[in-house]
Structure 1
Amino acid sequence: MAEIDRSLVRALPLFANMTDEDLDRLLARASMRRVQISETVFEQGQKATHFFLLLHGRLKVTQVTPEGQQIIVRVVHPGDLFGFAQALQRDDYPGTPIAAAESVVMSWPNDVWGHFVEQNPHLAVNAMRTIGQRLQEAHTRIREMATEEVERRVAHAVLRLIDQAGRREQDGVRIDFPLTRQDVAEMTGTTLHTVSRIFSAWESQGIVKGGRQKLLVRDRPRLEALAEGQG
């Protein structure tokens, strides 16, 4: 297995306080793989043997409900931990990460975690902060789905994505990975037809452009107003 250069991960907040020696020991147990668009990293329900870090690209994590509906529960961004079933007190993976763009992931066997946390308590603190942010976002989405009209939910979802994965351009902010209307429907608990109708209306009003793939948000203040029910 090729040695992983610490410079690839040194800038990530998760490893910010680790010494070079500790980081090299952690990387010595890591594996790296490239994940092509639409390829899965692992499958929902598969026995959890490793935890993962996204180094490059974007992943969308899907779950299939007991009723057979597929939903997108989160988007994984560079520097995020994922597949950390131990933190959820379970021995299988709760979702399926699928590459939304060509991605590079690192993985470690689950038995690595305990040792490195003992040696580097700040690593556990950083990981818990990540998990806490993820839970907070999940709670926000649940509240939105329970209390808000569909257009507000879609506006909130797009705003979160441009904050997490936005790239500023001359005409606005573009989400830097392919995002289909079906993806947005699965993120917001609605139908493709409804999302298509909303995006078509937004495009005609100049709020967004190119809603089928790499979405460009041209009028963030208007989108924020819609998210707050002021449209």
Structure 2
Amino acid sequence: MSSKRKTPLENPSLEGHHCTVDLRLEKLGMVPFFQALSNEQLRQVNKKFTANHYARGETIYRQGDSATILRVVVAGNVKLVAHTMEGEGVLLAMLQPGDFFGNPTADSKDVYNETAETQTDACILSIRLSDFREIMNGYSSVAMRVLDITTERLNESRQRIRHLSTLPVTKRIAHVLVTLGNKFGEKHPHGLLIQLPLSRKDLADMAGTSSATASRVMSRFQNDNLITSGRQWVAIKNKPELLRISAED
């Protein structure tokens, strides 16, 4: 069998896995708006969360559902996909343990602007927004950080729109690879392995291009020895050069 048909990705099963208190506290402590809390305060916050397990490929919520829950990834990976009027899916983000999703400032009339799907088996912590507001009222550091994060995400969205509308596709794909490498990359004999299932369509959606164009650019990067890849996986071999490509005028 060709090496390209073998995946170097870790795919730990969550069968028999439980979101233990220690694991829950560890991942909650990674959430930006909880980082200033003490261990005892985190324990009190943890009591308001419930844990749920999902199999790979399950839908956690759908675009248009009432936005009443805030969630935190404890184990596994989740992707957020927005659907256009034509029904096409656009990949917005990929999440790892310690990431939160859902709108922490949503009110009772708001809906989710995206669909959340598991990329692997996953354990997710959930809290009702009414309970989360109680936490913000009780801990001013949480409320202030939520405001900061809301502003940061708005700025990131604006930057992404600028990238999609002004940068050549080669630069966009190089930027996506570097961004994913920074977040999910692990040292591996293949290079900096992006440790999550990643299809050409995923890359194309994140770069705002077609799968065919993304495949051509990725083939060029592979021929230039900047990356190596196989079915659903990518490893970066020359990150400085990808950075140069993504940043060049």
Question: Is 2:152 the counterpart of 1:133?
Answer: yes
CA distance in 1, matches of 2:145, 2:85: 33
Shift of residue 87, structure 1, vs aligned partner = 4.2
- Which stretches in structure 2 are left out of the alignment for 5+ residues? 1-17
Deviation track 1:47-67 (CA, whole Å, cap 9, x = no partner) reads 122111112222110001123
Q: How many percent of aligned residue pairs carry the same amino acid?
A: 25
RMSD (CA atoms): 2.3
Q: Provide the rounded CA distance (Å) in 2 between the counterparts of 1:157 and 1:21.
A: 38
Cα deviation for residue 135 of structure 1 reads 2.5
SS, match of residue 179 in structure 1 = coil
Moved more, 96-105 or 174-183: 96-105
Deviation at 1:102, TM superposition (A): 2.2
Per-residue deviation at 1:68? Answer: 2.7
Query: Which residue of 1 is the match for residue 215 of structure 2?
Result: 196
Aligned with residue 212 of structure 1, among 231, 235, 245: 231
Please give the per-residue CA displacement for 1:22-42, whole angstroms capped at 9, x wherever unaligned: 323322221111222211111
Structure 2 CA distance, aligned partners of 1:136 and 1:6? 34
Q: Secondary structure at the match of 1:153?
A: helix
Structure 1 position 9, deviation (Å): 2.2
1:16 to 12, 31, 35: 35
What is the aligned counterpart of 1:107 among 121, 126, 129?
Answer: 126
1:86 is paired with a residue whose SS is coil
Task: Measure how far apart 1:109 and its partner are.
Answer: 1.0
Distance 1:85 1:22, change over 3 A: closer
Residue 189 of structure 1 deviates from its aligned partner by 1.3
Query: If the length of structure 1 is used for normalisation, what is the TM-score?
Result: 0.89
Name whichever of 177-186 and 5-14 sits farther off.
Answer: 5-14
Distance 1:58 1:130 in 2: 21
**Structure 1 partner of 2:21:** 5
1:119-164 per-position Cα deviation (integer Å, ceiling 9, x unaligned)? 1111123333433333332222111111011111111111111111
Q: Which is further off, 115-124 or 77-86?
A: 77-86
Query: What amino acid is aligned across from residue 28 of structure 1 in structure 2?
Result: K
Question: Aligned letter for 1:103?
Answer: A
| TM-score relative to the length of structure 2 | 0.83
2:102 to 58, 64, 83: 83
Matches of 2:68 and 2:20, distance apart in 1? 21
In the TM superposition, residue 90 of structure 1 has moved relative to its aligned partner by: 5.3
- Measured after TM superposition, the shift of residue 88 of structure 1 is 8.1
* CA distance 1:54–1:129, change in 2 (3 Å): farther
Distance 2:133 2:86 in 1: 36
Q: Is contact 1:162-1:175 (8 Å) kept?
A: yes
Query: Following TM superposition, by how much is the alpha carbon of 1:168 offset from its aligned partner in structure 2, in angstroms?
Result: 1.8
> Where do residues 1-231 of structure 1 align in structure 2 (5 Å cutoff)?
5-6=21-22, 8-10=24-26, 11-12=29-30, 13-84=32-103, 86-87=105-106, 91-229=110-248
Contact 1:62/1:72 (CA < 8 Å) preserved in 2? yes
Distance of 1:7 and 1:224 partners within structure 2: 34
Can you give the 5+ residue segments of structure 1 that lack an aligned partner in the other structure? none
Count of residues in Structure 1 that have an aligned counterpart in Structure 2:
229
**Is the 1:44–1:63 contact (alpha carbons within 8 Å) kept by the matching residues of 2?**
yes
